[in-house]
Amino acid sequence: MICSYNKYSFPVFLLKKSSQKIISSSSCLDFPFRNFVFISSCPESWGGSEELWSQTAIYLHQKNHQVKVFKTYIDHKHRKIQQLEELGIDISDIYKLGLKRIPKLIKKLQSYISLPNFFAHKSIVEVINKSNLYTCKIYKSLRIQDYLSLFFLQRSLVSIKPNLVLICQGENFDGFIYICLCKLLGLNYAILSQKASDHIWPSDEILSLLIKGYQNASYSFFVSKHNLKLTQSQLGKLRRIDLVYNLSQKR
């Protein structure tokens, strides 16, 4: 594992050459207890990027660091999710955060309701407004669960006070809303992009914000040279970048 340090002197962890083996530098772990948060925007039960972050999460957990996972659409019957839970790693479904506290009336609202001022919290409104720039190109309006989940995710992050947040994306920009949230909260975060598509580019509306999000990241990881090259053709030259592989053969 390649170990890099930001100004707060804590490492950015990444996997090399195989999803089943972590190549590590033990010296990177010779410091006091740290808090790590993993956020996965993958809408599937399990994806390629899940292998990367989950093995890293397990490794850190076994080194007695605090590890918390937030993922969209968790399938608790999936063997990989069960493995994390059996090891004692705390994993939460982003879209179910705070569900018990939501009034029954709110639960019954239609799933596609635009509530631009649903929460008065400045950072939440700002993130939602930014995310609307690209989400509205996919949905006609943000779903109410997006507003609620973002609100409770922010509360969780503020409470945890993580030293590092690893944002794991299926594409190279679908975790944009979480990048914005971490940036606004002043959290140190790294970005892991599972792929980049020639036919799916970030919209012009979010381009400048996305560039700032990547430039502000402690590190940006890509799983192939093609993904890195394409992302830089979309966003310009990026700083603090590296390649990680979820297969033993380099691509």
Q: Yes or no: say if 173 and 202 are a contact pair by the CB < 8 Å rule.
A: yes
C-alpha span between 11 and 2 (Å, rounded): 9
User: How many whole angstroms from its chain centre is CA 201?
Assistant: 19
User: What would the mean pLDDT of 151-158 be, rounded to a whole number?
Assistant: 90
For the ranges 41-45, 130-134, 200-204, which has the lowest average pLDDT? 130-134
What's the whole-number average pLDDT of the chain? 72
Paired sense of beta strands 11-12 and 4-5, if any: antiparallel
CB 36 within 8 A of CB 161: no
Walk me through the domains of the chain, giving residue ranges and CATH numbers. 33-243 (3.40.50.2000)
d(Cα 180, Cα 225) in Å, to the nearest integer? Answer: 25
pTM, 2 dp = 0.74
91-143 pLDDT, tens digit per residue, is 999 988 876 655 554 554 444 444 444 444 455 555 655 555 445 444 444 55
Higher pLDDT, 25 or 39: 39
